[in-house]
Structure 1
Amino acid sequence: MARFQYRKPNSSYRNLIISIVIFSCIIFCFFYGLNTVSSRTDAEALASLENAVQQGVTHCYAVEGVYPESLDYLKEHYGISYDPDKYYVDYRIEGANIMPDVTIIKKY
């Protein structure tokens, strides 16, 4: 009966290599997905800050009849808040009744 049975030799080394490769692929996919989600979140946070500042400027003009004189005025009276360690906000006034130029840059 033994002549009709074929038995594979144990190759624990090969199984170990396959397990390591599969585990490495899973870890790589996890960190790649985490990085992608993180970069999307950062982009959405930047867009949200830009939108909040523009809405604050527009709301101030609609309520008070003049554009805010500084970014600090928007922070104090219209609830604009952001992390100054994460974003640089450049707020430039061009005239009394001209909408200010607002540039927001993410710091790295």
Structure 2
Amino acid sequence: MVLPVTLFLLLFLFLLFGIQNIATGSDRESLKILKDAVVRATIQCYAIEGMYPPDVAYLENKYGIVYDHNRYIVHYEIFAGNILPDITVVDIGR
């Protein structure tokens, strides 16, 4: 009786860690996709309008960037009008 219970617990733990690993990978991929989308929209704005957008709200209004404000913080810092802004995306959790 001990062997089947032990085997069941080991399989359960293996499954639990596997699901957790998949969720972590998915969260990292979502973060990367959001950052890439913001960078692409920023570059597209520069190509179309000749200037980098003043803030992320501009990208949301004019270029269709949509993200969960309760889960992500998008830090967007402009140095000069002709230099790509520093864009950082942080996952603050669910």
TM-score (norm 2): 0.93
**Identical-pair percentage:** 33
* Residue-by-residue CA offset, 1:24-78 (whole Å, 9 max, x unaligned): 0111011111011001101111111110000000000001111101100001111
CA separation in 2, counterparts of 1:95 and 1:49? Answer: 23
Alignment of 1:73-88 (within 5 A): 73-88=58-73
Corresponding residue number in structure 1 for 2:8: 23
State the AA in 1 paired with 2:25.
R
State the AA in 1 paired with 2:51.
V
Residue 66 of structure 1 aligns to a residue whose secondary structure is coil
State the AA in 1 paired with 2:84.
M
Alignment of 1:89-100 (within 5 A): 89-100=74-85
* Residue-by-residue CA offset, 1:59-102 (whole Å, 9 max, x unaligned): 00001111101100001111111111211111111112221111
Residue 96 of structure 1 aligns to a residue whose secondary structure is coil
The one of the two structures with greater contact order (alpha-carbon pairs below 8 A, sep at least 6) is 2
State the AA in 1 paired with 2:56.
L
Structure 2 segments unaligned to the other structure (5+ residues): none
Corresponding residue number in structure 1 for 2:89: 104
**Residue 27 (structure 2) pairs with residue 64 (structure 1):** no
Residue 28 of structure 2 aligns to a residue whose secondary structure is helix
Structure 1 segments unaligned to the other structure (5+ residues): 1-15
Corresponding residue number in structure 1 for 2:20: 35
TM-score (norm 1): 0.82
CA separation in 1, counterparts of 2:66 and 2:39? Answer: 13
Alpha carbon RMSD of aligned pairs, Å? 0.9
Residue 54 of structure 2 aligns to a residue whose secondary structure is coil
Structure 1 stretches of at least 4 aligned residues deviating more than 3 Å after TM superposition: none
Number of aligned residue pairs: give it: 93
State the AA in 2 paired with 1:66.
M
